[in-house]
Amino acid sequence: MSAFSASPNATWSYLGHEVYSVSSSPTKAASQVHCGADGPAVLLVHGFGASTDHWRYNIPVLAQTYEVHALDLLGFGRSAKPPELEYGGELWKEQVVAYVKERIKRPTVIVGNSLGGYAALAAGAALESDSAGVVLLNAAGYFSDEKYVSKPKNVSSKLRQMIGLGLSRDLLVKWLFYPLIQRLIFENLRRPGVIRSTLQQVYIDPTNVDDYLIESIRRPSLDPGAFQVFQKVFQARGLKGKPIDELFQDLQSPLLLLWGDSDPWLRNAKAKQDKFRFFAREASVDVKEVLLNAGHCPHDEIPDQVNQEMLAWLKG
């Protein structure tokens, strides 16, 4: 299994904020043998709390054949963490779209894990013909029927809802208790021991839960603005943006669904998979699905299998 190897790219900014990215390409000889020059580029998009470092075992293998990029979404990794931004699916989708158009400048396969999977799908749909394909690894997101919230039908129900909304706006709760609770959660989550324990629950095989991975998650949490980003994501309670089923209808490029089939993080994971499968097949795109014996991050837990599946699909 190859170790992480990629070069940081020249500075690139989105909305005036610096974005960290890396890239790696086949050697000239490899390009002549494979399709590095004529085939699509590949862009890797990490999940919540992760960064380009999470693709440590994928970039070296994919880059033997393809031009490979990975970026840190705003608010994560080595990218800027400005507190004034509205963090969510729409921001990250637009960031990915801009990166493809401004930096890669060619048809691109976008690969995403978890919330990065939502950004990859949304960007792939928005890019239209500039999207050469989308690969989703245990993607996050919601469907149209999950967005619906019933309205109160009678006076007492309306009153209870109004009281609930009023309490949520109470200054003592909003400006003292909520930030304090969020700060305590944040401080606890970025402790190395807690990061290790959490990852050991998320990975079915914890072999790759090593010091490098733990530090790659802990280090960005020490950056200025990291807590404010956590607060905004915490308060948003969702990715926002279009629901998954609508994004599938907009997608024009082939789709590969790779599932760590023992994912403990996705709520109702099996039902979620069924929905992804159903709506993907309803869309007018080519779809392939592969179930893997892994948890929420199969690309890092079982990278050899994931690399093999992606390369076979890319070649096809």
Domain membership flag for residue 187 = no
Which residue is listed with tokens 């009153």? Answer: 159
E strands along the chain, which residues?
A: 7-8, 12-14, 17-19, 21-24, 41-45, 68-71, 108-113, 131-137, 255-260, 287-292
The mean pLDDT value for 56-76 works out to: 97
More confidently predicted of 96 and 266 = 96
| C-alpha R_g of the chain | 20
Residue 105 is assigned to a structural domain of this protein: yes
Whether 191 is in a domain gets the answer: no
Q: Which of 3-7, 72-76, 158-162, 279-283 has the lowest mean pLDDT?
A: 158-162
pLDDT band for position 166 (cuts 50, 70, 90): very low
Residue 34 has pLDDT above 60, yes or no: no
Query: What are the structure tokens assigned to 149, written together?
Result: 């919230």
Burial 43-81 (b: 16+ CB within 10 A, else e): bbbbbbbbbbbbbbbbbbbbbbbbbbbbbbbbbbbbbbb
What does the pLDDT read at residue 268? 72
- Domain of residue 38 covers 7-142+239-315
Q: How far apart are the first and last CA of the chain?
A: 23
123 in a structural domain: yes
Q: Which whole number is the average pLDDT over 198-206?
A: 94
Q: Which is more confident, 153 or 138?
A: 138
What pLDDT does residue 233 have?
83
SS3 41: strand
Q: Could you tell me which of 166, 142, 132 has the C-alpha nearest to residue 253?
A: 132
For the CA atoms of 195, 235, 118, 130, the dihedral, rounded to the nearest 10 degrees, stands at -120
Our CA dihedral for 81, 87, 88, 93, rounded to 10 degrees, sits at -60
Contact (Cβ atoms closer than 8 angstroms) between residue 286 and residue 314: no
208 or 1: which leads in pLDDT: 208
The pLDDT, as a whole number, for residue 168 is 41
pLDDT > 80? residue 205: yes
Alpha-carbon torsion angle 50, 43, 262, 270, nearest 10: 110
Could you give the number of structural domains in the chain?
1
Residue 91: count other Cβ atoms within 10 Å of its Cβ: 20
pLDDT surpassing 90 at residue 226: yes
Domain annotation covers residue 135: yes
Residue 275 is assigned to a structural domain of this protein: yes
3-state helix, strand, coil in the chain (%, to 5): 50, 15, 35
Residue 70 has what pLDDT? 98
What is d(CA 102, CA 274) in angstroms, rounded to the nearest whole number? 36
Residues 121/136, Cβ–Cβ less than 8 Å: yes
Residues 249/250/254/257 CA torsion (nearest 10 deg)? -60
Q: What is the rounded average pLDDT of the residues 215-233? A: 93
Q: What is the pLDDT of residues 74-119, one digit of tens each?
A: 999 999 999 999 999 999 999 999 999 999 999 999 999 999 999 9
Specify the pTM.
0.88
Instruction: Look at the block and give the residue holding tokens 């440590």.
Output: 56
In a domain, 60, yes or no: yes
| 167 domain residue, yes or no | no
Q: What is the CATH number of the domain that holds 253?
A: 3.40.50.1820
